[in-house]
Amino acid sequence: MKTVLITGGSGMIGRRLSELLIEKGYKVIWLSRERYVKAVIPRYRWDYRKGEIDSEALEQADIIIHLSGSNLGEGAWTRSKKQTIVESRVLTARLLLDTLKKLDKKPEAFISASAVGYYGMHTDEKVYDEDDLPARNDFLSRTCKKWEAAAFNFKKELDTRTVALRTSFVIYKNSPALNKLKLPVKFGLGAPIGTGKQFFSWIHLDDLCRLYIKSVEDVGMEGVFNAVSPDQITNAEFMRLLAKEMKRPFFLPNIPAFILRIIMGEASGMVLEGSRISSQKVIDKGYKFKFDTFIEAIKESL
């Protein structure tokens, strides 16, 4: 039985991924703020700000899945918030790598989260694949570059098989992000955001977790992969279909972009912009989506 160490395990993705891994017979452990090894999923303490980590967790780990990172969608991107967003991804990976080197321990694989924000907060007709350069050199794109560079240091310094999954908007019935979009629709106030023409790349939580598991089990998977559904829709289509499935009216004019910019500042670009992202690379690796249309995903999630 292999042991999978997950950082950020208590989040929505980490919890569901842990469930699916345990179902498949893996032992799962977490790095957390508090040590609690008698929990159903044993937790080992770390604090990247202090450079502290329970080496016992790393000694056990056959595979590491790195999900840790401050929520991109919570609050405005102030200078301190930006620093936390980057450090919670980059310094955590560095602490893991430095500790493994001290322990002379080489895991079988290091699998890291990333985001489709790598391609920049931008809207056009191009379908971006993993070989494309970012269309914009904005904060989100720069963060994803640093995030992935920190992950691929495991390949450079330990020769560990490394995978980065560029994740899109995650759809799931308990998703806080989806609930934020559902709230105005529930009261009949759903409307396209900005122009509504920006593309909305998404993936169902179960497909995302199954991609992580495939990354664990398929030793031929290495490098960067887009974790997105093949069904490409615009923001206007997303909001219209959401209202239809919730059986709510959808007639209001678009929400002006300037309102989002006032509320969210620079972070509004995550909502007001969006490109089409290719899922062909994971499909070519043999992955078959459980939810490959938005209608299927949203019906299950409602």
pLDDT band at 114 (very low <50, low <70, confident <90, very high): very high
Q: What is the pLDDT of residue 263?
A: 87
Parse the chain into domains and list their residue ranges.
Answer: 3-171+203-228
φ, ψ of residue 110 in degrees (nearest 5): -120, 120
Distances 114 to 86, 91, 249, 280 between C-alpha atoms, Å:
12, 15, 36, 17
Q: What is the pLDDT of residue 97?
A: 98
Q: What is the pLDDT of residue 224?
A: 98
Q: What is the CATH number of domain 3-171+203-228?
A: 3.40.50.720
pLDDT tens track for 144-182? 999 999 999 999 999 999 999 999 999 999 888 899 889
CA–CA separation, 3 vs 20, rounded Å?
13
φ, ψ of residue 170 in degrees (nearest 5): -100, 125
Mean pLDDT score, 286-298: 95
pLDDT tens track for 4-44? 999 999 999 999 999 999 999 999 999 999 999 999 999 99
pLDDT tens track for 188-242? 999 999 999 999 999 999 999 999 999 999 999 999 999 999 998 999 999 999 9
Q: What is the pLDDT of residue 73?
A: 85
Helices (H), the chain: 12-23, 55-60, 79-103, 139-158, 176-186, 205-217, 235-245, 257-264, 269-272, 280-284, 294-301
- Using a pLDDT cut of 90, give the percent of the chain over it: 93
Distances 84 to 106, 136, 230 between C-alpha atoms, Å:
28, 22, 32
